[in-house]
Amino acid sequence: MNIANVSQNTQYDRFVSLLVRHEQAVRGFVRSLMPSAHDVDDVMQEVGLACWRKFDSFASTDSPDDFVRWACVVARFEVLRHRRNYARDRIVLSEDIIELLATDAQSRLQTAAAERDAVELCLARLQESERRLLLSVHTPGDSIARIASELGQNARRLYSKVNSLRDLLGECVRRRLAEGEV
């Protein structure tokens, strides 16, 4: 295998890793710019291809943390291109509106990322048993009733504990966001 192929494969692996990790955020950004959810998948395919074609420009200058911002800029242009291609449709947003929506979506992405980081930091501060109990409510196949049965405890008491943990987690997240610790 020659060096150019190894470099190309490494670049491709890095791109795929970044795209997969941040696909939800970019998809949310695209969705916020589209009048119809049904076109989002088509645009996301074009965003993925456009990002790959332009990845050399990103990879040479930016850190992995900037990928979402860069991909959203690419996505904005793909949305505009899609809009121009389908301008015959009845529901078409003007470029000015798309720009306003894009600016708003970009700020919401940053806020969501900070909130996600704060939740992860606050969850990490909980004891393992508290974290499992709190997350069991949102884990398919897991439940407070099952955990109560395993531990031989009253389910109502565990529900009360979950509510207390939610309050603690919420306060921790609010404090971290207010102090800018994320």
Four-residue CA torsion sign, 75, 77, 78, 79: positive
pLDDT (tens digit per residue) in 129-174? 888 888 887 777 777 788 888 888 888 888 888 889 999 999 999 9
pLDDT of residue 142: 74
Establish how many alpha carbons lie within 13 A of residue 84's alpha carbon, considering only the half-sphere containing its beta carbon: 6
Taking the C-alpha atoms of residue 15 and residue 112, their distance in angstroms, rounded to an integer, is: 22
Q: Which residues contact 177 (CB under 8 A, 6 or more apart)?
A: 114, 115, 118
Q: What is the pLDDT of residue 92?
A: 62
Using CA atoms, how far apart are residues 28 and 32, in angstroms rounded to an integer? 6
Distances (CA, A) of 3 to 18, 53, 59, 113, 157: 23, 20, 18, 37, 62
pLDDT at 170: 92
The residues of the chain scoring below 50 in pLDDT are 1
The whole-number pLDDT of residue 87 equals 66
- CA distances to 135, 146, 159 from 152, in Å: 19, 10, 14
Q: Name the pTM for this structure.
A: 0.52
